[in-house]
Structure 1
Amino acid sequence: MSVETTSLESLGRELGNAIAESPEYERFEEARQAVEDDDEAQAQIQEFEQLRQEFMMARQTGQASQEDVKEVQRAQEQLHRLPVMADYLEAQSELQDRLEAVNEAISEPLAVDFGGEAGGCCQD
Structure 2
Amino acid sequence: MSVETTSLESLGRELGDAIAESPEYEQFEEARQAVENDDEAQAQIEEFEQLRQEFMMARQTGQASQEDVKEVQRAQEKLHRLPVMSEFLEAKSELQGRLEAINRAVSEPLAVDFGGEAGGCCQD
Q: TM-score, normalised by structure 1?
A: 0.96
After superposition, the C-alpha distances for 1:7-49 in whole angstroms (9 at most, x for unaligned) are 0000000000000000000000000000000000000000000
AA of the residue aligned to 1:85: M
Return the alpha-carbon distance in structure 2 between the equivalents of residues 68 and 100 of structure 1: 34
2:92 is aligned to 92
- 2: CA distance between counterparts of 1:15 and 1:37? 29
RMSD: 1.0
Where 1:52 maps in the other structure, the secondary structure is helix
Residues in 2 aligned to 1:35 and 1:73: alpha-carbon distance in whole angstroms: 20
Shift of 1:51: 0.2
Question: 1:38 maps to which residue?
Answer: 38
Residue 9 of structure 2 corresponds to 9
1:109 lines up with 2:100 in the alignment: no
State the alpha-carbon separation in 2 of the partners of residues 96 and 21 from structure 1: 15
Q: Note the C-alpha offset of 1:121.
A: 3.6
1:56 partner letter: M
Q: Secondary structure at the match of 1:64?
A: coil
Across the two proteins, how many residue pairs are aligned to each other?
123
**Shift in alpha-carbon separation, 1:71–1:16, aligned structure 2, 3 A:** same
Structure 1 distance, partners of 2:81, 2:102, is 30
Note the C-alpha offset of 1:122. 6.0
Q: Letter of the 1:43 partner, please give it.
A: A
Structure 1: distance between partners of 2:23 and 2:38: 22
**4+ residue runs of structure 1 moved beyond 4 angstroms?**
none
Q: Which residue of 1 aligns with 2:61?
A: 61
Q: Percent identity?
A: 87
SS in 1 for 2:63: coil
